[in-house]
């Protein structure tokens, strides 16, 4: 793909699902560390969950609408490992693949797209330099750029206007940035989607943070992917009703607690359109 071009494959731009009649997407998320899928609680006590390429193929066969890979170490020593995982996965599956973790520049975005990613998720680098989002959106197209917002409720220190704060380092470091305002800023800068991660709920299986989804939905028109807290099939419909265009989960899929088909059946039963 020549430098400056857009995504190699054209996937629909989703947004305002109810108004556009677009089906809700069910997305497994694979947190990858040194070439293996891992999962913990609140990004701690990580345990091995399997080979990412094999798991991606299974999810594709089960009817997942997309896949998300996040490099949870994102160190320079593991970067080439992640590129290899992306390349091998892109050869095996035929659904959109979003990759994030350690993306610091437009050149990193370019390399991931060339490796087979369809979309690239940006988090920490955008906090350090928001202009990166606009630069990447202009160079590759908004549909390729996802703003990942790792947010938690503020329980100590200076409060934010919404009560939600953007964090880094797996939710362990606060930034003082209001999470709702940051999501709106991401849309202004040109991102095509918001991946909204509740760091309080991550891995707890206690349900999505519905208030946070609702608050972000009120300030953005681009698709919102709800992440963090899925534990049972009943958790997914409320997330959609709160404003999510897609629902993402990790451990419940990795360890066989839920299957993709079960989640889609529950969404259909709740009156939600799925593929």
- The 10s digit of each residue's pLDDT in 57-110 is 999 999 999 999 988 776 555 667 689 999 999 998 999 999 998 899 999 999
Min mean pLDDT across 16-25, 36-45, 231-240 is at: 36-45
Domain boundaries, the chain: 25-270
Dihedral sign, CA of 92, 96, 102, 103?
positive
* The predicted structure's pLDDT at residue 12: 41
- To the query of whether residue 51 is one of the catalytic residues in this protein, the response is no
pLDDT in tens, 179-197: 999 999 999 999 999 999 9
Give me the pLDDT at residue 104, please. Answer: 93
What mean pLDDT do residues 3-16 have? 42
In Å, how far are 7, 10, 98, 117, 141 from 109, measured between CA atoms?
11, 17, 11, 9, 11
In Å, what is the CA distance from 83 to each residue of 47, 55, 111, 127? 22, 17, 8, 23
What are the tens digits of pLDDT across the range 126-160?
999 999 999 999 999 999 999 999 999 998 777 89
Q: Which of 196, 127, 134, 116 is nearest to 164 (CA)?
A: 196
Given CATH 3.20.20.70, say whether it is the number of domain 25-270: yes
The band of 50, judged by pLDDT with boundaries at 50, 70 and 90, is confident
Catalytic residue of the set 31, 178, 200, 209: 31
* Residue 136: per-residue pLDDT: 98
Backbone angles phi, psi at 258, to 5 degrees: -135, 155
Asked if 31 is an active-site residue, the reply is: yes
Write out pLDDT tens, residues 210-219: 999 999 999 9
| 110, 118, 150, 178: the active-site residue | 150
Percent of the chain with pLDDT over 70: 85
CA distance 246 to 71: 21
């Amino acid at each position: 793909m020549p430098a400056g071009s857009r995504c190699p494959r054209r996937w629909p731009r989703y947004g305002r699902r109810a108004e556009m009649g677009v089906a809700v997407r069910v997305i497994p998320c694979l947190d990858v560390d040194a070439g293996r899928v891992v999962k913990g609680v609140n990004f701690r006590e990580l345990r091995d969950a399997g080979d990412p390429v094999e798991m991606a193929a299974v999810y594709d066969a089960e009817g997942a609408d997309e896949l998300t890979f996040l490099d949870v170490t994102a160190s320079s020593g593991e970067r080439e490992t992640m590129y290899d995982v992306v390349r091998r996965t892109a050869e095996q599956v035929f659904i959109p693949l979003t990759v994030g973790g350690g993306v610091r520049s437009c050149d990193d975005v370019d390399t991931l797209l060339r490796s087979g990613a369809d979309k690239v998720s940006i988090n920490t680098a955008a906090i350090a330099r928001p202009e990166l989002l606009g630069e990447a959106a202009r160079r590759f197209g908004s549909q390729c750029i996802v703003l990942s917002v790792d947010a938690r409720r503020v329980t100590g220190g200076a409060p934010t206007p919404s009560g939600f704060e953007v964090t880094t380092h797996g939710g362990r470091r606060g930034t003082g940035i209001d999470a709702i305002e940051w999501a709106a800023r991401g849309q202004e800068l040109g991102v095509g989607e918001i991946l909204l991660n509740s760091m309080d709920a991550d891995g707890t299986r206690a349900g999505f943070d519905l208030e946070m989804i609702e608050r972000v939905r009120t300030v953005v028109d681009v698709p919102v992917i709800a992440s963090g807290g899925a534990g049972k099939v009943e958790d997914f419909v409320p997330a959609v009703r709160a404003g999510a265009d897609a629902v993402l989960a990790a451990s419940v899929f990795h360890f066989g607690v839920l299957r993709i088909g079960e989640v889609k059946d529950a969404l259909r039963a709740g009156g939600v359109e799925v593929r």
